[in-house]
Amino acid sequence: MRTSSTELRDLGLAWIALSVAFVLLLFRNALFSGEVVVVATLFGMCALTAGVAFLLHELAHKVVAQHFGQIAEFRADYQMLGLAILSAMVGFLFAAPGAVYHRGNITPKQNGLIAIAGPVTNLVLAGVFFALFVVAPGDGLLSTVASLGVWINAFLAGFNMIPFGPLDGKTVKDWNLGVFAVAFAVMGGLAALVLFTDVVPIAF
């Protein structure tokens, strides 16, 4: 898998910004506790779970694009990174930190498959973290990390399937309405279930 120092830099900056944004969104009250250990633990958990979710999402786009012979690299959108942090501060996270840009001859189907690869990866990761949540003992740190992993991946899968602007859902919808409808129903439904119920509670 080909990469560059610019891509690695942008992936790292986007990872940090998203981690901060998720801490602000989910644990805003705990941040004002004044306890350094608590704040560091919260950031570490979000960096781990959001980092895995974000990096594998973008790498899925990149790997599929390169599979189809594309030149593909991730580039951060610094304005959108700022928006992610600001939106998290007011209670909603607009998570569009950048994109994998690719070029070369490509069909609409291949473009659609590149787009859907990211949300599908988050869907799979949500399942992996849910399995960990089920077997994790009690409500300790491992259970909290697992539940956070489910929450973040369900959110990213559902959010990215919205058929709007630069989000993956629009590209998938433009390629195949049937595939989009099924993916949107599954991922949007999972996101709604996780975000608006206590099926996988987050408590810290």
Q: What is the pLDDT of residue 203?
A: 54
What pTM was estimated for this model as a whole? 0.89
Instruction: Look at the block and give the residue holding tokens 């501060």.
Output: 89
Q: Give the pLDDT confidence of 54-84 residue by residue, as tens digits.
A: 999 999 999 999 999 999 999 999 998 999 9
Which run of H or of E encompasses 78? helix 78-89
**Residue whose token pair is 């077997």:** 135
In degrees rounded to 5, what are phi and psi of residue 102?
-135, 155
| pLDDT value at residue 33 | 67
Report pLDDT for 202. 67
Are 96 and 75 spatial neighbours (Cβ–Cβ below 8 Å)? no
The alpha carbon of residue 74 and the mean position of all alpha carbons in its chain are separated, in whole angstroms, by 14
Q: What angle do CA 27, 98, 152 make, to 5 degrees?
A: 30
Catalytic residues: 58
What tokens were used for 10?
A: 């942008």
How large is the average pLDDT for residues 29-36?
Answer: 72
Res 166 pLDDT > 90: no
Distance CA 169, CA 183 (A): 9
Question: Percent of the chain scored above 70 by pLDDT?
Answer: 97
For residue 167, CA distances in Å to 56, 100, 141 come to 16, 11, 33
The torsion angles phi and psi of 92, rounded to 5 degrees, stand at -145, 140
Q: What is the per-residue pLDDT across 103-133, written as a single tens digit (0 to 9) for each?
A: 888 999 999 999 999 999 999 999 999 999 9
**Spans of all domains in the chain:** 5-102+109-196
